[in-house]
Amino acid sequence: MPTTNKRGIELLQDSALNKSTAFTEAEKQALGLVGLIPDVTETEDVQLRRVMQQLGHKNTDLDRYIFLVNLLDHDETLFYRTIMSDPTRFLPIVYDPTIGEACLKFGHIFRQPRGMYLSMERRGKVKEILRNWPQKDVRILCVTDGGRILGLGDLGANGMGIPIGKLQLYTAAAGVPPQYLLPMYLDAGTNNQQYLNDPLYMGMHKARPATADLFSFVDEFMEAVQEVFPKCCVHFEDWTGVDAVHLLQRYRDKYCVYNDDVQGTAGITLTGMINATKLKGTKLKDEKYLFLGAGSAGIGLANLLCSALVAQGMTLKEAQAQVHMFDVNGLLESTRTDLVDFQMPYAHAHKPTRDFVAAIESIKPTTIIGVSTIGGAFTQKVVEAMSQINKRPVILALSNPTEHAECTAEQAYNWSKGKAIYAAGVSFAPVQYQGQTFLPGQANNFYIFPAVGMAIFATQAKRVSDEMFIEAAAAVADQVAPDQLKQGLLYPLQANILEVEIQTAARVAKLVFDTGLARVDRPTDMLAFIRKHVYKPQYATLV
């Protein structure tokens, strides 16, 4: 008997069930497909070969992105089979850095809707709208208001490419089954005049509302999610910095919610810091940190770092004293009157300065972290200043896409004369310096949030804690081989990302059970428990 009620053209139009040229003869006969598809039964390997050949004819990564999204719209299994066949090649196409260009042009390359679009014009109707989604058991909902997309700013509705891409990474990098994932754009307008003037812009042609008005609508949205999708974790993504921090504070103790820009970025950066201390033979509490950028990512990172330092025996005040921050108006220090509440713990007594190099020379940090979105902000003078006060300066240039990186790998190694321990938010090729090969790591959140998401999915966690991200950071750090670490690689190779994330998810899941946050029974074998939940890109037998 068929395992689906869909037949013929209706079945072929369902991307989750469509097998294209891989339907068996029995399926064709039973499901009314004879004559509607070529009269062959191909293996998935043959289908993948055709996809690779077609991709080979595309001239740009944006063209490849459009092709792959179109494949997803028609054959979900083959899409994930393709991405998971070569993560190193395809993750930069379906996500960063290509996703940045795709978002900038989203309204112009749009083919068909994916996910849900929730406008503030629908106030009072959110529950009814959520019930329009065909899958009733949503476990992870990724939502953006497009307020601050990557380092590109307010993209409004064009930012929908981000939650779509993020959820693809949950599946491709950590094996979370795609049917449980829901990307959403919460339309609160845009202050981007270019898009307001664009007839192809697909969001509300209105300026953004007052914060109180926005937050009251998000309150309605969060309450509706709990009722319609009671096992759902809400993943906030790419909201403006102040909103990101305040919304996380607003909901984290009440709902299962987290913000990847705040906690995921912090987690993956903490991974780099942990492995940098392994290279140096120090501990986190021995280091001193200076951030360039004090928005949601920087503050989230600093807060998580301080939590990790407290776990190593420091008091919170001692930990905060090790962390300094620098923004567009200079060093955060105690005489500044323009700081928001969450920046205040890092505003120490210090002489005011707007000179980042002077701040380095005065504070003498062992690590600088760039979350500024300002390409080239780590100048030669910055790197040289770090090299003069440190045997092994740690330089983390985390902004993306590529043109926003604070410095390139080649610049960091050359300007430091090979002394730097370096990682970036984007991928850079290996660098040769005086006969030595350095492997610059990519501090990309996709090592962290999909694994945390898999742990949440498998355990049905009630809440998301900072400790989960600290544990994930340590788990990822532990999976870098010693020989790779010696070459400066702070993160595992992407080619093996699924296994890395399964191992990470198992450790996070153990923590979920240990802290009493799970809603399922504790398994005897945590790794086997995670593997049991992992999606495999294989066609279902329909007859």
Which of 91, 119, 153 is a domain's end point? 91
Could you tell me if residue 453 is inside a domain? Answer: no
Q: Are residues 302 and 217 in the same domain?
A: no
Q: What's the CATH number where 305 sits?
A: 3.40.50.720
* pLDDT tens, residue by residue, 350-393: 999 999 999 999 999 999 999 998 999 999 999 999 999 999 99
CB atoms within 10 A of CB 340: 13
On whether both 288 and 361 belong to a single domain, the answer is yes
CATH number, position 20: 1.20.1370.30
d(Cα 191, Cα 432) in Å, to the nearest integer?
44
Which listed residue (19, 166, 419, 510) is catalytic? Answer: 166
Q: Is residue 227 part of a domain?
A: yes
Query: Residue 3: inside a domain, yes or no?
Result: no
Question: Could you tell me the residue range of the domain that residue 365 belongs to?
Answer: 263-446
Do 319 and 376 have their domain in common?
yes
- In this structure, are 389 and 299 located in the same domain? yes
The residue among 91, 108, 142 that closes a domain is: 91
The rounded distance, in Å, linking the Cα atoms of 403 and 421 is: 21
Rounded distance, CA 513 to CA 461, Å?
9
β-pair type (233-236, 441-442) = unpaired
Question: How many structural domains comprise the chain?
Answer: 3
Same structural domain, 142 and 278: no
Instruction: State pLDDT tens for residues 491-502.
Output: 998 899 999 999
Angle value at C-alpha 316, between 313 and 319, nearest 5 degrees? 75
**Closest by CA position to 327, among listed 252, 388, 389, 242:** 242
**For residue 113, which phi and psi values (nearest 5 degrees)?**
-70, 150
Q: DSSP for 9-35?
A: HHHHT-TTT--GGG--HHHHHHTT-TT
CATH (domain of 125) = 3.40.50.10380
Q: Do 361 and 423 share a domain, yes or no?
A: yes
Model confidence, pTM: 0.93
- 3-state SS string over 449-512? HHHHHHHHHHHCCCCCCHHHHHHHHHHHHCCCCHHHHHCCCCCCCHHHHHHHHHHHHHHHHHHH
Report the distance separating Cα 426 and Cα 97, nearest Å: 7
User: Are 134 and 275 within one domain?
Assistant: no
Long-range contacts of 41-46 (CB under 8 A, 24+ apart): 44/77, 44/78, 44/81, 44/537, 44/538, 44/539, 46/21
Closest alpha carbon to 370 in 355, 385, 382 = 382
Decide if 95 is catalytic.
yes
Both tokens of 32, joined, read 């009314």
Measured at the alpha carbon of residue 452, what is the angle toward residues 451 and 454, in degrees to the nearest 5? 65
Number of residues that make up the chain: 543
Cα–Cα distance between 102 and 158 in angstroms, integer?
Answer: 8
Does 485 fall in a domain? no
Q: Six-digit token pair at 480?
A: 């870098």
Q: Which residues contact 455 (CB under 8 A, 6 or more apart)?
A: 461, 468, 505, 506, 508, 509, 512, 530
Identify the pLDDT of residue 1. 67
Q: Is residue 473 part of a domain?
A: no
Does residue 204 fall inside a structural domain? yes
37 lies in the same domain as 133: no
Q: Give the CA diameter of the chain.
A: 79
Residues 328 and 426 in one domain: yes
What is residue 116's predicted lDDT score, i.e. its pLDDT?
98
Residue 40 domain-assigned (yes or no): yes
Q: What is the pLDDT of residue 533?
A: 98
C-alpha to C-alpha distance for 175 and 44, rounded to whole angstroms: 18
Please pick, among 80, 95, 289, 413, the residue that the annotation labels catalytic.
95
Residue with tokens 């393709």: 82
Question: 421 near 443, Cβ under 8 Å?
Answer: no
Query: Would you state the torsion angle of the CA atoms of residues 125, 186, 136, 540, taken in this order, to the nearest 10 degrees?
Result: 150
Report mean pLDDT in 10-residue bins for the chain, 543 residues: 90 96 96 96 97 97 96 97 95 89 91 94 97 97 92 90 96 98 97 95 95 97 98 95 90 96 91 95 94 89 92 94 96 94 94 96 97 94 98 94 91 96 92 93 93 98 96 97 91 94 98 98 98 97 94
Of 41, 61, 91, the residue at which a domain comes to its end is: 91
Return d(Cα 96, Cα 405) in angstroms, integer.
13
Q: Note if 539 is an active site residue.
A: no
Q: Please, where are the H alpha helices in 355-465?
A: 356-363, 380-389, 409-415, 449-459
CB 260 within 8 A of CB 237: yes
The reply to whether 114 and 216 lie within a common domain is: yes
Residue 296 and residue 405 share a domain: yes
Only one residue has tokens 């945390």, namely 452
Supply angle C-alpha 275, 278, 281, rounded to 5. 150
Tell me how many degrees the CA angle 52-46-18 measures, rounded to the nearest 5. 95
Euclidean distance between CA atoms 507 and 378, whole angstroms: 35
On whether residue 225 sits in a domain, the answer given is yes
Tell me: do 272 and 418 sit in the same domain. yes
